[in-house]
Amino acid sequence: MADRHEAALAAAHLRARAWLDGLEDRPIAPRADAETVKDALGRTLPDEGEDADAVVLRLADAAEPGVMAMGSPRFYGWVIGGAQPAALGADWLVSTWDQNTAIRAVTPGVVAAEELAGEWILDLLGLPPTSDVGFVTGATMANFTCLVTARDAVLRQAGWDAAHDGLAGAPRVRLVVGAERHDTVDHAARMAGLGAPRVVEADDQGRIVPAALAGALADGMGPAIVVLQAGNLHSGAIDPLAEAIAIAHREGAWVHIDGAFGLWAAASPRTRHLTEGLADADSWTTDAHKTLSVPYDCGIAIVADARALRASMGMTAAYLQTAASVDHADPHDRVPELSRRARGVPTWAALRSMGRSGTIALVDRLAGSASRLAIGLAQLPGVEVLNDVVFTQVCAALDTDERTDAWAEALRTAGDAYASSSRWRGRSVLRFSVSNWATDDHEVARTLAAASRALATVR
């Protein structure tokens, strides 16, 4: 059996090593588009098969020109973490073991690592230790998981059993969000049958305005969910959690916090003050594939009331041989999926490899690099940093949208550093999201040099 895998795994190892070795210096953006890669892969399904190692080598040869070097320490696009070594190694084992991680008694080896990872995350973030933790594909699905749980819970409180009676005829659940929530909150809400949210004002950094939240909640009756944000993807700002949670709870609302990357501010004594009040919410979203630099895909849904999560996500079937009890749910009782890979295991490996001090150092390094990047960018001629850099995001712009876009394009084309473009507060911006475990002072200096060279090409 092992012999049958040997050549394919050796080929994969060889090409993975070459990819990782080249990551620091290769141009970051892909050089081939998807159609070119299809040509290189071969478009027609051949009649005859091919040896496994040849398939792996064919894939590496054909696809690599189209692979973005997202693991580069100078990659700042969207909000994308790298893959730190222990997590990557563990991820290989997860694929090799190929455990269908649905049932505790069936795959105890990987469930143990996932459950420990969940406990450690609660500890690092200062969240209630009795919360339950589900490993999903990303923050979008974590938001979905938590919003479905919230919906069912507030309806239950209003005397409506959504699990039995569905949503038709149910009291309307009011969903209240800040003007700069992430778009996936609306997407998750739509999938959860909550419809469009009531949007309340945000301040100049994108933080929800507590008085506006209070007004919106007072302006209606019935079950309510409030979604707050820890980490605005343009500014990195975190909503005034303590005040907003108190307002929402006074009105009987469930409070969910989308902290896809910003929840990790709570792990470090240097940034923890930004998240004051965090633990008083009812549910939280975060990602391991962002700040923690765990390979895709791993999102984390956390719910303070474990019974509520299991009431919404749990299921039974005679053939599954589940052993779920109130004390120990099965993994599938915490997430929408039944079958899934053991995606929490690389998170365990990342945390075990860094330890508490290393995790704090990671958060500090990302925030510190963002702050140094902002200082350096602001010293470049004509560059303005638009946000207060409190965590890991930096938005920079030139005097006109055209010049900003040209600067961004020149930077990406040169290939030494990659930041993505966006629009924020009515302007084109070049966004630097510092989310890779390997970004440090040296890489920040290289990034600033690349940004300066790109700027020189803009008329």
* Contacting residues toward ligand PLP, per CB under 6 A: 78-79, 138-140, 182, 184, 231, 233, 258, 260-261, 287, 299
Nearer to ligand PLP, 138 or 197 (CB): 138
**Amino acid identity of 446?**
R
Nearer to ligand PLP, 292 or 454 (CB): 292
Residue 78: CB minimum distance to ligand PLP, A? 6
Nearer to ligand PLP, 231 or 368 (CB): 231
Q: Strand, helix or coil at 262?
A: helix
Distance separating alpha carbons of residues 427 and 436, to the nearest angstrom: 26
| Alpha-carbon dihedral angle through residues 412, 421, 175, 333, given to the nearest 10 degrees | 0
Residue 289: CB minimum distance to ligand PLP, A? 6
Distance separating alpha carbons of residues 242 and 162, to the nearest angstrom: 30
Distance separating alpha carbons of residues 165 and 118, to the nearest angstrom: 32
Nearer to ligand PLP, 143 or 322 (CB): 143
Q: Which two tokens stand for residue 324?
A: 């779920």
Residue 433: CB minimum distance to ligand PLP, A? 8
Instruction: Return all residues near 432 (Cβ < 8 A) that are at least 6 apart.
Output: 76, 370, 373, 377, 393, 394, 395, 396, 419, 447
Measured from the Cβ of residue 449, the count of other Cβ atoms closer than 10 Å reads: 13
Spell 270-300 as b/e; 16+ CB within 10 A means b.
ebbebbebbbbbbbbbbbbbbbbbbbbebbb
Nearer to ligand PLP, 184 or 283 (CB): 184
Residue 184: CB minimum distance to ligand PLP, A? 4
Residue 257: CB minimum distance to ligand PLP, A? 10
Nearer to ligand PLP, 369 or 393 (CB): 393
Nearer to ligand PLP, 77 or 376 (CB): 77
Nearer to ligand PLP, 135 or 160 (CB): 135
Instruction: Return all residues near 46 (Cβ < 8 A) that are at least 6 apart.
Output: none
Residue 392: CB minimum distance to ligand PLP, A? 10
- 184 and 299 Cβ atoms separated by less than 8 Å: no
Q: Which two tokens stand for residue 391?
A: 């965590």
The total number of residues shown for the chain amounts to 459
**Closest to 395 measured CA to CA, from 366, 358, 432:** 432
Residue 187: CB minimum distance to ligand PLP, A? 9
- 299 and 79 Cβ atoms separated by less than 8 Å: no
Closest CB to ligand PLP belongs to which residue? 138
Partners of 136 in beta bridges: 299
Residue 260: CB minimum distance to ligand PLP, A? 3
